């Protein structure tokens, strides 16, 4: 997969995902002969400048085989139409499309086909249950205490659809397990006034358990500041890294830390089972978490 990183020494004008020079390096010097996939073309690094639809054409022209458009089917359809138009205008060689299709078919042949009898939702749920990772502490919540779930919200797609509301909610999953749970939704990078309001609300409800869903706090200074202040008030709070596990390394003073690797409904249901004591987390982090930083 080619990311949207700009490497001026290689190509000062285009990110790697759209760069013929990057793909030539991958195919030539590196000798890679597999399918080349772009990172999501709806990410801000591409969408806010070049635009997702034009980038789809550029990526194919550069030599990419599969285009990732993760969030909106309408955008994917517009990209398809732009690709067809580029071929009809002679801007995109049909042979390049044929090569991309062949690479895609080759990739698919290497993957086992799903059995018609597979229960996909059950499989997804089982993957989520096996993924939850305990970094340290005891995340099980007392069943007799109400719960506040602080959720630093914003899309996990790196700037894609920042105003899209996250549909699944951990507090609703906890309610289904008979917890009296409420959600305190906070901006992904809250300002100081919002942080003060959040801390004041938590302080006014100290009888409640506190769960904090972190979303890339290691990259968001204000979110990290808010979490640090919450930990000062509630050191037994359960912190959950809901994206990559790097947030779990950022708060060494936190007593109870979980990694979830996502915030879809299946993962939140698995987290709720862990918090309710119905599931012992057995996942393993894909990166080393020993060197926590405060």
Rounded Cα gap, residues 145 and 182, in angstroms: 12
CA angle 250, 253, 258 (to 5 degrees): 65
Average the pLDDT over each of 108-117, 235-244, 255-264 and give the range with the smallest value.
108-117
pLDDT at 87 exceeding the cut of 60: yes
Domains, the chain, in order of start with CATH, read: 16-109 (no CATH), 120-275 (3.40.50.1700)
Q: What is the pLDDT of residues 175-231, one digit of tens each?
A: 999 999 999 999 999 999 999 999 999 999 999 999 999 999 999 999 999 999 999
Residue 288 Rama label (left phi>0; alpha psi -120 to 50; beta):
beta
Q: Which residues contact 181 (CB under 8 A, 6 or more apart)?
A: 146, 147, 148, 149, 170, 171, 172, 174, 175
Give the pTM. 0.69
pLDDT at residue number 95: 94
Mean pLDDT to the nearest integer, 240-262: 93
Mean pLDDT to the nearest integer, 237-264: 94
| Closest CA relative to residue 40, chosen from 64, 8, 13 | 64
Three-state SS for 127-165 is HHHHHCEEEECCCCCCCCCCEEEEEEECCCCCCCCCCCC
pLDDT at residue number 105: 87
Label the pairing between strands 66-68 and 181-187.
unpaired
């Amino acid at each position: 997969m080619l990311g949207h990183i700009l490497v001026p020494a290689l190509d000062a004008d285009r990110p790697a995902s759209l760069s013929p020079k990057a793909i030539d390096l991958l195919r030539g010097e590196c000798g890679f002969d597999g399918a080349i996939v772009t990172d999501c073309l709806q990410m801000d690094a591409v969408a806010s400048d070049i635009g997702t639809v034009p980038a789809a054409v550029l990526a194919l022209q550069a030599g990419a085989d599969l285009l990732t458009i993760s969030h909106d089917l309408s955008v994917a359809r517009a990209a398809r139409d732009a690709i067809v138009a580029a071929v009809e205008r002679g801007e995109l060689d049909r042979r390049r499309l044929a090569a991309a299709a062949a690479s895609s078919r080759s990739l698919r042949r290497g993957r086992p086909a799903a059995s018609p009898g597979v229960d996909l939702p059950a499989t997804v749920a089982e993957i989520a249950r096996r993924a939850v990772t305990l970094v340290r502490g005891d995340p099980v919540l007392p069943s007799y205490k109400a719960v506040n779930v602080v959720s630093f919200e914003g899309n996990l797609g790196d700037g894609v659809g920042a105003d899209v509301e996250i549909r699944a909610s951990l507090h609703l999953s906890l309610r289904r397990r008979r917890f009296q749970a409420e959600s305190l939704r906070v901006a992904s990078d809250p300002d100081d006034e919002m942080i003060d309001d959040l801390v004041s609300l938590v302080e006014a409800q100290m009888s409640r358990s506190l769960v904090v869903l972190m979303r890339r706090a290691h990259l968001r200074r204000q979110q990290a500041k808010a979490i640090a202040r919450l930990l000062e008030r509630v050191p037994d709070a359960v912190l959950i890294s809901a994206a990559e596990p790097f947030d779990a390394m950022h708060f060494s003073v936190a007593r109870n830390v979980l990694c979830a690797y996502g915030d879809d409904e299946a993962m939140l249901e698995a987290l709720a089972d862990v918090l309710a004591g119905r599931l012992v987390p057995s996942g393993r982090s894909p990166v080393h978490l020993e060197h926590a930083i405060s």
